[in-house]
């Protein structure tokens, strides 16, 4: 379960931070974001309806619900810790690689005040 949670979090967080999409206009990004939320909602509700309802009924009938709930909470907490360290390691590797390439041009991790002000102007439009 921990591995599944780590994979889920890494995949979805990377989709949220998709680089090429961030270059689109705000309205396009917003429409795609709404479409993604709708698709994710449909998938999540379908998953819960077809798997969790029968599973909860079975656990309730056997009296093992609280034990399973505590195990799910425990594994979710450990997956958050695991994802934190995996993403920290990925950032460390990418940052070192980016710093080595900094002589060739500006770094992707550096945001100037002008870049930030341009971003704020685009968001307000």
Q: What is the pLDDT of residues 20-61, one digit of tens each?
A: 666 778 888 788 778 878 887 888 888 888 888 888 888 888
**Coil, strand or helix: which one is 90?**
helix
How far apart, in whole angstroms, are the C-alpha atoms of residue 33 and residue 123?
Answer: 15
pTM listed for this prediction: 0.39
In tens, the pLDDT along 96-123 reads 776 666 566 655 556 677 878 888 888 8
Spatial CA neighbour of 123 closest among 37, 34, 24: 24
Q: Which residues of 56-81 are buried (b: 16+ CB within 10 A; e: fewer)?
A: eeebeeeeeeeeeeeeeeebeeebee
């Amino acid at each position: 379960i921990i591995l599944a949670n780590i994979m889920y979090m890494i995949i979805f967080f990377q989709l949220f931070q998709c680089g090429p999409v961030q270059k689109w206009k705000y309205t396009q990004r917003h429409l795609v974001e709404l479409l993604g939320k709708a698709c994710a909602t449909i998938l999540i509700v379908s998953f819960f309806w077809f798997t969790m309802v029968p599973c909860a009924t079975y656990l309730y009938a056997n009296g093992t619900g609280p034990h399973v709930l505590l195990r799910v909470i425990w594994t979710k907490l450990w997956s958050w810790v695991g994802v934190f360290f995996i993403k920290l390691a990925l950032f460390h590797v990418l940052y070192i690689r980016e710093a080595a390439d900094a002589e060739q041009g500006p770094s992707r991790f550096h945001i100037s005040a002008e870049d930030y002000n341009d971003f704020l102007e685009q968001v307000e439009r």
